Amino acid sequence: MSSTISSQRSNPWISCRKSKETSKLRLFCLPYAGGSPLIYRKWGSRLHAAVEVCPVNLPGRSPRASEPSFVNLFDLSQAVGKGILPHCDKPFAVFGHSFGAMLAFEVARYLRRQHLNGPVHLFVSGRRAPQVPDEDPPTYNLPRDAFIQELKRINGTPKEVLEHDELVEMFLPMIQADFQACQTYEFTPEPPLDCGITAFCGLTDDEETRERVEPWREQTTRSFSLLELPGDHFFIHSSEDLLLQTMDRQLQQLLRRLP
């Protein structure tokens, strides 16, 4: 067994069900607020065989539930950047949905500031461009019951969690921490990234609309594409097949351009 694969299995930041020694490209996947690596459990078998899907384990959720969650996006982006660094020994792309999209963007910028290898492509999903201000009032600091009602409204937390007090008490601090990290984020202008960006948005997402997602093009000097998929903010689930088909085509294009 190679030292790379051995270290990959022991790295708490990376969750790969089966390492691919023959992979040519890694895809690091970051969850939405309150999400876990299980979101991406099927992706490895549904994308090109040369792509190794590597879900990223964030503190505060399984399998790192005993660790405190980050409440600052910049601090978390640095920690993630350092965590994935041992596995940036081959070309890689990054995918993130909603909160994960902002995190993916800041991880890429952190790696660049450190003069380290950055992603060959960034997939950002269900999130407005970072320079587009969020004028809605924060919700992470709402009273418990009001925050739970907000989770029900956005329809991103399983009902079986919200209907059981023990599960609510277990997951609520982590979800609130993710919301705080995202809702207190302040964009700092830097030069655009030197990698292509593909942005996705939901056709019936009332908040992260096409008009708010389209300005992601300003964050790259390379190619940019924007695709609308059927569904609301969580089209990542309802339109997963179409999302993966689209990503697979673009990943194969990236593979063909690799040395």
| 65-113 tens-digit pLDDT | 999 999 999 999 999 999 999 999 999 999 999 999 999 999 999 999 9
Q: What is the rounded average pLDDT for all residues in the chain?
A: 92
Question: In the predicted model, is pLDDT for residue 20 greater than 90?
Answer: no
Cα separation of 238 and 203, whole Å?
Answer: 12
Instruction: Tell me the H-state helices in the chain.
Output: 3-10, 73-84, 99-113, 144-154, 159-162, 165-183, 210-213, 235-238, 240-257
Q: Is the dihedral of CA 46, 225, 29, 228 positive or negative?
A: negative
pLDDT at site 5 = 40
More confidently predicted of 176 and 259: 176
Summarised one tens digit per residue, pLDDT across range 24-35 is: 999 999 999 999
Other beta carbons within 10 angstroms of residue 158's beta carbon come to 11
SS3 225: strand
Q: What is the pTM of this model?
A: 0.93
Q: How confident is the model at residue 175 (pLDDT cuts 50, 70, 90)?
A: very high
Which residue from 53, 102, 59 is spatially nearest to 79, judged by alpha carbons? 59
Q: Could you confirm whether 6 is annotated as catalytic? A: no
Question: In the predicted model, is pLDDT for residue 64 greater than 60?
Answer: yes
Other beta carbons within 10 angstroms of residue 236's beta carbon come to 25
| Structural domains for the chain | 3-134+189-257 (3.40.50.1820)
Summarised one tens digit per residue, pLDDT across range 222-258 is: 999 999 999 999 999 999 999 999 999 999 999 999 9
Q: Which of 77, 98, 125, 239 is catalytic?
A: 98
